[in-house]
A = this chain, B = another copy of it.
Amino acid sequence: MILTVTLNTALDITYRVRSLRPHASHRVSEVIERPGGKGVNVGRVLAALGHEVTVTGFAGGGTGRAVRDRLAGTRGLTDALVAVAGATRRTVAVVDEHSGDTTQLNEPGPQIAPAEWGMFLDRYEGLLAGASAVALCGSLPPGVPVGAYAGLVRTARSFGVPVLLDTSGEPLRRGVAARPDIIKPNADELAELTGSHDPLRATRDARRRGAHAVVASLGPDGLLAATPDGHWQATPPARVHGNPTGAGDSAVAALLSGLVERLPWPDRLSRAVALSAATVRAPAAGEFDPAVYEELRARVPVTTVLSAP
């Protein structure tokens, strides 16, 4: 079983409007709701790839119930979320039909009480005992200590479970120091962590800070990986048009599946790039197109990056 942790789960709501104009009133023509939060998205993609996956973290209130109701229908996915008193946050993506652009509104998430955090830690240890890998994903809700991921990384390592960390800012900085097996920052997160806007330099720097492997997602330029086995860049075979929402979560799911299948790094990277591209191309945000995935998988070029001195 692969475990994903989403401390700040979300009910992701997408609104379609004709044209978003600040200070005006808008009739929403279409409403889509789906369970969200990075680790939940990663879990759904893993389940779609045929893995057994367990999602944990927090859920509460009517929005938490909506998230859990929707997860209940996902084959291969087990809901091990911890119930909390506060309500799971909503995210609202407003898609402008005229321009095609999206405006995002993200609620902060519920206040997590110390007792609830303690309940989660118990649940996490119990689940680690049966996990082949664990992904720690996304932002921290109010009340969770900023060093939370560092502690969760250490616990996973003490259980001998490989751990992937996908977060940003101070939680990432502290988490990296606890020596996770993989981090997957995007270009901005990597620059914030290392102070360098040169991805090659920054990935090497992030390894020195404690990450065993660093896979940087560079949007249309694909993935740049710095690992103990070598350095690679994997790029989409063609420019991919569509909605990039969820592409990063699909990359995380591919890296985890490649990890538990013990694939060599180049194969993990081509899988991650193909799955990300198939997610961008899918009509619904966060879904992926299986035909596009299969078609691209063999066609992603992975090149060795020479390690500069």
Please tell me if A230 contacts chain B, counting CB pairs below 8 Å. Answer: no
- CB of A69 to closest CB in B, whole Å: 8
Residue of B nearest to A24 (CB): B103
Interface size (A, Cβ < 8 Å)?
31
Let me know if A99 and B62 touch, CB within 8 A.
Answer: no
Q: How far is the CA of A13 from the CA of B13 in the complex (A)?
A: 13
Given contacts A28-B107, A106-B27, A107-B31, contact A20 B22 (CB under 8 A): yes
Please tell me if A205 contacts chain B, counting CB pairs below 8 Å. Answer: no
Let me know if B105 and A29 touch, CB within 8 A.
Answer: no
A17-B105, A28-B108 known; 14 new pairs, CB 8 Å cut-off, are A20-B22, A20-B103, A22-B96, A22-B103, A25-B104, A25-B106, A26-B104, A27-B108, A28-B106, A28-B107, A29-B108, A31-B107, A62-B66, A92-B105
Residue of B nearest to A20 (CB): B22
Let me know if A101 and B27 touch, CB within 8 A.
Answer: no
Please tell me if A223 contacts chain B, counting CB pairs below 8 Å. Answer: no
Per-residue contact bits, chain A 96-117, to B (CB 8 Å; 1 contact, 0 not): 1001011111111000000000
Residues of B within 8 A of A31 (CB): 107-108
Let me know if A99 and B15 touch, CB within 8 A.
Answer: no
Please tell me if A176 contacts chain B, counting CB pairs below 8 Å. Answer: no
Please tell me if A51 contacts chain B, counting CB pairs below 8 Å. Answer: no
